[in-house]
C-alpha cells in the first residue's frame, strides 16, 4: 500500500517523511497485502502526478477524488500544506480499474485542488464526470479503537515497483485523534502501506456496505520494496474523513445546478423529502418539474453555505411522462412521519396527494379530488403549509381564477376537508402569480409569500382560518420581480426561521435570498447564471 515514513510529529524518533514516488515498472507477482478481485473497490483511483509521483485516492463524487494533500506538496517531508487551484504538475487520474491493464473505468485529468488546512487531505476535481463507477460513501462516525478497516492502494509491493493491480489489506485501528487514525496490519500480517498508496482509501466494510473512513497519509513502510531491510515496523497513520461531509459537499455541489437548463423549469416544490426535518441537519429539498415533463429532486445539503444549498440530484420522472400535465405542485407533511409528500393539481382538475416522496420516486398516491371535479379546474395557485393547529397534517391555500382565496384544513387521504373562505372573489388576487408557504416571522402558523404580476412581493404573516393578519411588502411594484418566473420558499441554507426564498428568473438564472424577514430580502446569492 502507499505512503511515506511517518513525520516526527507522530511519534518521537520516527523517520522523516519522504515523497511518494514512481519507479521503473517490473512484473507483479507478490504484494504487501492482497490482490483485489476484478471490479472490487472500483472507486479507488490511481493518480499520476507529472510522471514523477504516484498516489492513490477514492472517487467520492462523479467529478471529485479525495486523496492526500501531501501527494502534491513540493516537499512532503515538510508537511502537507499546498495551494488551492490547478495542480503544478499535470495530474492524470485512473478510476474503475482494479487491473490497470484493463480498459474499464476512465482516465481523466485532475484540474483543480481544494486542500484542507488542518489535515493531510485534498479534493481533486476531474475535468469531466466519471460514469459507470459508483462513488464511495463517506463514513459518518469515527472509527473506534480495535475496529478493522480495509486499506487499498496501487503502491509498491514487497518486490514490485509499480504493480498493475489494486491491492488491499486489513488493518486494526490502534488510536484516534481529531484528524488522524493510527493503524497496524492484521491480515495478512505482513501488510504495509507503501509508496504509491498515499491517499488511498481506508474502508469500513460491513455486510454489503462500504464506507470511506480515512485516506493513507504516513507509514513506516516495513517490508516495502526500497525500504531498508532492517525496518520491520508496518504501522501507518491515516487521515480521518468521517467529519468532512459538510466541507466536501460545498465543492461536489458546485456543478450540480448548472447541469440543468433552468429556463426550462416551470414548477417548483420544496419539502423535507429525503430526511432532515425539524431537529435534523439536512436542509430542505427542491423538486423541479421541467417543461419536457421530466422531474428532478435536488437533495438539501448538510452544511450552512447558502451558495451550495443542494448536495445530490435524483431523476424522479423521465421526459414525456404524465408529469407534463401537472399544473401546480406543493410539498408538505400529511402523515406526521417527518417525511414530506406532494399535492399535485393536474390540468383536468384532479387533485392528487403523494404521502411520501424520496430519491426513488413518488409513494402513496391518493386521489383527493377526481378529474373534472368542481371547482378544482379553476384552481390557479395552490400551496401547502401549516395554517391550523394540527401538528400531524398540513393545510392547503388555494387562489382561484376568480380571485377568491380558500383554506382547506388538515389534508389527509380522505380528501381536502372543509373550505374556509379567506377572501371572496375579487380583482386583486387575480394578479397573484406565485404563492408559497414559508416561515419568515416566527408566528404560530405559516406565512404566505405572494409574487404579484406587477413585480410586488408580499408576505402575509401567520395566516390561519381567521384570515390574513397584516402584510409585509418585501418588493415594491415594478421591481425586478416582474421578471421572476418562479418563486418558492424554504429552509435551504439552515433549518431556521426566517426561511429563504429561491427565484427562477425568466432569463433562466437562479437566485437564493437567505433569511428573508420583515426587513425584506437580503443579499442575493447567485446559484445559476
> Do 185 and 267 lie in a common domain?
no
CA distance 74 to 97: 28
Domain for residue 19, yes or no? no
Q: What's the Rg (C-alpha) of the chain?
A: 28
Q: What SS3 state is found at 36?
A: coil
Nearest CA-CA partner of 358 in 343, 375, 339: 339
CA distance 153 to 206: 20
Nearest CA-CA partner of 416 in 378, 384, 445: 384
Beta carbons of 416 and 366 less than 8 angstroms apart: no
DSSP 80: S
CA distance 69 to 115: 6
CA distance 139 to 275: 18
> Do 334 and 469 lie in a common domain?
yes
What pLDDT sits at residue 17? 30
Nearest CA-CA partner of 140 in 211, 61, 209: 211
> Do 94 and 185 lie in a common domain?
yes
Q: In this structure, is the dihedral angle defined by the CA atoms of residues 258, 262, 264 and 267, taken in order, positive or negative?
A: positive
Q: What angle do CA 259, 264, 267 make, to 5 degrees?
A: 105
What pLDDT sits at residue 253? 84
CATH classification at residue 448: 2.115.10
Residues near 393 by Cβ (< 8 Å), separated by ≥ 6? Answer: 333, 334, 335, 336, 410, 411, 412
> Do 238 and 259 lie in a common domain?
no
Helices vs. strands in the chain: H and E counts, helices first: 1, 34
Of 195, 219, 246, the position where a domain reaches its end is 246
Q: Evaluate the omega torsion of the peptide bond into residue 283 and state whether it is cis, within 30 degrees of 0.
A: no
Residues near 230 by Cβ (< 8 Å), separated by ≥ 6? Answer: none
CATH classification at residue 178: 2.40.10.120
> Do 212 and 260 lie in a common domain?
no
CA distance 61 to 516: 32
For 215, half-sphere exposure in the C-beta direction (CA atoms, 13 angstrom radius) is 30
Domain for residue 2, yes or no? no
Domain for residue 371, yes or no? yes
Q: What SS3 state is found at 376?
A: helix
Residue 150: in which H helix or E strand, if any? strand 148-153
CA distance 291 to 345: 16
Domain for residue 272, yes or no? yes
For 93, half-sphere exposure in the C-beta direction (CA atoms, 13 angstrom radius) is 33
> Do 280 and 186 lie in a common domain?
no
Q: What SS3 state is found at 347?
A: coil
188, β-bridge pairs? none
Q: In this structure, is the dihedral angle defined by the CA atoms of residues 177, 180, 186 and 192, taken in order, positive or negative?
A: negative
The whole-angstrom distance between residue 111's C-alpha and the CA centroid of its chain comes to: 21
What pLDDT sits at residue 405? 98
> Which stretches within 187-244 are classed as H helix?
none
Domain for residue 89, yes or no? yes
Question: To which residue does cell 380583482 refer?
Answer: 427
What pLDDT sits at residue 32? 46
Beta carbons of 529 and 453 less than 8 angstroms apart: no
CA distance 202 to 68: 12
Start-to-end CA distance of the chain, whole Å, equals 44
Q: In this structure, is the dihedral angle defined by the CA atoms of residues 257, 260, 265 and 270, taken in order, positive or negative?
A: negative
What pLDDT sits at residue 211? 97
Domain for residue 398, yes or no? yes
Question: Per residue in 285-338, pLDDT tens?
Answer: 999 999 999 999 999 988 888 888 998 899 999 999 999 999 999 999 888 777
Q: Which structural domain, as residue segments, surrounds residue 274?
A: 253-528
DSSP 146: T
What pLDDT sits at residue 12? 21
In this structure, the chain runs to a length of 529
DSSP for 277-336?
Answer: -TT-SS--EEEEEETTS-EEEEEEPSS--TTS-EEEEEEEE-TTSGGGGEEEEEEE-SSS
What pLDDT sits at residue 414? 63
Domain for residue 107, yes or no? yes
What pLDDT sits at residue 472? 95
> Do 406 and 318 lie in a common domain?
yes
> Do 386 and 443 lie in a common domain?
yes
Q: What SS3 state is found at 378?
A: helix
Q: Sheet harboring 457-460: ordered strands across?
A: 432-438, 447-452, 457-460, 472-475
Residues near 264 by Cβ (< 8 Å), separated by ≥ 6? Answer: 290, 291, 292, 508
Q: In this structure, is the dihedral angle defined by the CA atoms of residues 115, 116, 117 and 119, taken in order, positive or negative?
A: negative
Nine-digit cell string for 499: 426561511
CA distance 180 to 168: 20
The segments of the chain whose pLDDT lies below 50 read 1-32, 278
> Do 465 and 377 lie in a common domain?
yes
Record the pTM.
0.76
DSSP for 465-484?
Answer: TTB----EEEE-TTSGGGGE
Nearest CA-CA partner of 134 in 41, 57, 244, 199: 41
Of 246, 279, 303, the position where a domain reaches its end is 246
Q: What SS3 state is found at 51?
A: coil
> Do 416 and 449 lie in a common domain?
yes
> Do 75 and 197 lie in a common domain?
yes
What is the count of structural domains for the chain? 2
Domain for residue 481, yes or no? yes
Q: In this structure, is the dihedral angle defined by the CA atoms of residues 72, 78, 81 and 85, taken in order, positive or negative?
A: negative
> Do 223 and 165 lie in a common domain?
yes
Of 226, 246, 266, the position where a domain reaches its end is 246
Amino acid at each position: 500500500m502507499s505512503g511515506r515514513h511517518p513525520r516526527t510529529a507522530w511519534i518521537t524518533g520516527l523517520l522523516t517523511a519522504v515523497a511518494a514516488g514512481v519507479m521503473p515498472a517490473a512484473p507483479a507477482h507478490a504484494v504487501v497485502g492482497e490482490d483485489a478481485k476484478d471490479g472490487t473497490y472500483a472507486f479507488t483511483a490511481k493518480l499520476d502526478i507529472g510522471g514523477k509521483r504516484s498516489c492513490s485516492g477514492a472517487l467520492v463524487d462523479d467529478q471529485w477524488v479525495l486523496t492526500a494533500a501531501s501527494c502534491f506538496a513540493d516537499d512532503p517531508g515538510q508537511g502537507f500544506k499546498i495551494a488551492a487551484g490547478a495542480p503544478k504538475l499535470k495530474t492524470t487520474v485512473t478510476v474503475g480499474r482494479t487491473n490497470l491493464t484493463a480498459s474499464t473505468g476512465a482516465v481523466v485529468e485532475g484540474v483543480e485542488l481544494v486542500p484542507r488546512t488542518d489535515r493531510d487531505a485534498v479534493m481533486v476535481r476531474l475535468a469531466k464526470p466519471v460514469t459507470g463507477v459508483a462513488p464511495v460513501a463517506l463514513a459518518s462516525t469515527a472509527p473506534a479503537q480495535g475496529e478493522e478497516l480495509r486499506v487499498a492502494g496501487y503502491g509498491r509491493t514487497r518486490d514490485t515497483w509499480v504493480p498493475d493491480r489494486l491491492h488491499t489489506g486489513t488493518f486494526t485501528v490502534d488510536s484516534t485523534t481529531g484528524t488522524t487514525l493510527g493503524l497496524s496490519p492484521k491480515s495478512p500480517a505482513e501488510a504495509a502501506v507503501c509508496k504509491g498508496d498515499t491517499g488511498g482509501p481506508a474502508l469500513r466494510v460491513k455486510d454489503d456496505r462500504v464506507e470511506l473512513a480515512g485516506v493513507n497519509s504516513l507509514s513506516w513502510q516495513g517490508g516495502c520494496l526500497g525500504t531498508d531491510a532492517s525496518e520491520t515496523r508496518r504501522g501507518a497513520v491515516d487521515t480521518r474523513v468521517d467529519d468532512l461531509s459538510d466541507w466536501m459537499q460545498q465543492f461536489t455541489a458546485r456543478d450540480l445546478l448548472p447541469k440543468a437548463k433552468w429556463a426550462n423549469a416551470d414548477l417548483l416544490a420544496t419539502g423535507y423529502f429525503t430526511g432532515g426535518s425539524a431537529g435534523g441537519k439536512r436542509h430542505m429539498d427542491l423538486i423541479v418539474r421541467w417543461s419536457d415533463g421530466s422531474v428532478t429532486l435536488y437533495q438539501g445539503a448538510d452544511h450552512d453555505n447558502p451558495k451550495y444549498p443542494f448536495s445530490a440530484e435524483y431523476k424522479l420522472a423521465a421526459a414525456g411522462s404524465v408529469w407534463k400535465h401537472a399544473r401546480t405542485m406543493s410539498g408538505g407533511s400529511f402523515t406526521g412521519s417527518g417525511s414530506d409528500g406532494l399535492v399535485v393539481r393536474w390540468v383536468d382538475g384532479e387533485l392528487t396527494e403523494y404521502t411520501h416522496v424520496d430519491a426513488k420516486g413518488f409513494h402513496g398516491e391518493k386521489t383527493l379530488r377526481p378529474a373534472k371535479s368542481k371547482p378544482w379546474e379553476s384552481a390557479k395557485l395552490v400551496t401547502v403549509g401549516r395554517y391550523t393547529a394540527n401538528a400531524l397534517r398540513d393545510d392547503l391555500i388555494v387562489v382561484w381564477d376568480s380571485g377568491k382565496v380558500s383554506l382547506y384544513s388538515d389534508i389527509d387521504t380522505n380528501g381536502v376537508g372543509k373550505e374556509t373562505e379567506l377572501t371572496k372573489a375579487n380583482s386583486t388576487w387575480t394578479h397573484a402569480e406565485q404563492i408559497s408557504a414559508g416561515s419568515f416571522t416566527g408566528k404560530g402558523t405559516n406565512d404566505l409569500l405572494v409574487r404579484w404580476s406587477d413585480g410586488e412581493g408580499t408576505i402575509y404573516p401567520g395566516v390561519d382560518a381567521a384570515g390574513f393578519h397584516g402584510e409585509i411588502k418585501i418588493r415594491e411594484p415594478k421591481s425586478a420581480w416582474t421578471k421572476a418566473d418562479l418563486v418558492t420558499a424554504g429552509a435551504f441554507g439552515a433549518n431556521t426561521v426566517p426561511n429563504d426564498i429561491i427565484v427562477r428568473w425568466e432569463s433562466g438564472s437562479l437566485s437564493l435570498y437567505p433569511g428573508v424577514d420583515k426587513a425584506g430580502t437580503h443579499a442575493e446569492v447567485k446559484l445559476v447564471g
